[in-house]
Chain A
Amino acid sequence: MAVTVLLFASWADALGSRLTLDLPPDARVRDVLRTLDERAGGAGLPTPMVAVNQRYARPDTPVRESDEIAIIPPVAGG
């Protein structure tokens, strides 16, 4: 399935602000991260959190084609 991923801050600089990944139908958040890590190829990016439909997700959270998936590098608001 094709899954759209939004990226921010350092991850957007490295890979662009929007990517489409081809993932197996039973993919989970950890599969998204593994695929992106392979694309980033040791760029030294900080470990991100992942949001699914604008909520923080866990590595075992399933992802679907219609989900809005976002890569959230360490936040620095305030």
Chain B
Amino acid sequence: MRTAIVDRVLDPTALLAEVASPDSGASTLFVGTVRRLHEGREVTGIDYSAYRPMAERELADVVAEACERYGTAHLVVEHRLGTLGLGEASIVIAVSHARRASAMGAQKFVIEQVKARVPIWKREHYADGSREWVDPTRAAVSDADAAGIP
């Protein structure tokens, strides 16, 4: 189990290797990336910033809770800060577990908790030169809506 908030490019395959274990039957890798379109606007990049000491602690708490809830110690999360371009990874979550359902469950738990409570913010840069803080509480279409999840 390890978490980090970093100012460098993320290396998803390194995290996948880090959670590998002969006792695991499944590994999952989640990579969150900067997307071109947000609510119909063309995004050119995102600034990520944080209340760093609290974000580090909350992220560690989330991962400790996931490890306890799903029964694994093989969980690594890194979140990147700074200015990221299209397609660059902002977060990587790697999990391995004896059972695939638990690996996938732990991964989903972590990303949802990160989005709900870790004090990290993003300011999107748009093609028209403007910049705006993203406020998920105002988002017209959340990922859950987009996936048809009630």
A residues with CB within 8 A of B? 6, 8-10, 13, 46-47, 51, 54-56, 70, 72-78
Contact = CB atoms under 8 A, between A and B. Distances in A.
B53 A75 contact: no
B91 interface: yes
Interface of B: 32, 48-51, 53-55, 57, 79, 90-91, 111, 114-123, 133-138
A40 B25 CA distance: 53
A51 B54 CA distance: 9
Contacts of A6: 51
B135 A77 contact: no
Nearest to B110: A78
Contact of B133 (A10, A47, A51): A10
A8 B137 contact: no
Given A9-B123, A72-B119, A78-B114, A54 B137 contact: no
A46 B138 contact: yes
A65 to B, nearest CB: 20
A70 B134 contact: no
A73 B135 contact: yes
Given A73-B135, A75-B136, A77-B114, 18 more contacts: A6-B51, A8-B119, A8-B121, A9-B121, A9-B123, A10-B133, A56-B117, A70-B51, A72-B51, A73-B121, A74-B136, A74-B137, A75-B115, A75-B117, A77-B55, A77-B122, A78-B79, A78-B115
A54 B120 contact: no
B117 A51 contact: no
